[in-house]
Amino acid sequence: MTNYDKLRELIQDILLLEPGEYSLGLGRGDVPTWDSLAVVSIAVGLDETFGQHPSPDEATGLKSVADIVAFLESRGLSFSD
């Protein structure tokens, strides 16, 4: 499973998305379930899945899937096929 697949699965599970709803452009304003509890769940999920735990400031700055990918890439993970 690629890092992209792992992230897609994580985000879909936390935000209760249907398979076709996930995209890199997906952001907080697009999904009602992306609330403060989801932010904490995403931070914990990033730690458990990728071994990368964002600080509280970093976690609140993750406002889209693209932001999450950029955060993980800044920590050395690759999301290219």
Domain 3-18+26-74 = CATH 1.10.1200.10: yes
Cβ burial of 80 (10 Å; 0-12, 13-18, 19+) is: exposed
Mean pLDDT by 10 residues, the chain (81 residues): 95 94 93 95 97 95 96 94 58
Contacts of 3 by beta carbon, 8 Å cutoff, 6+ apart: 50, 72, 77, 78, 79
Extents of the domains making up the chain = 3-18+26-74
Q: Is the separation of the CB atoms in 63 and 28 below 8 Å? A: yes
For CA atoms 8, 21, 16, 64, the dihedral sign is positive
Question: 0.85 cut: is pTM over it?
Answer: yes
Radius of gyration of the chain (CA): 11
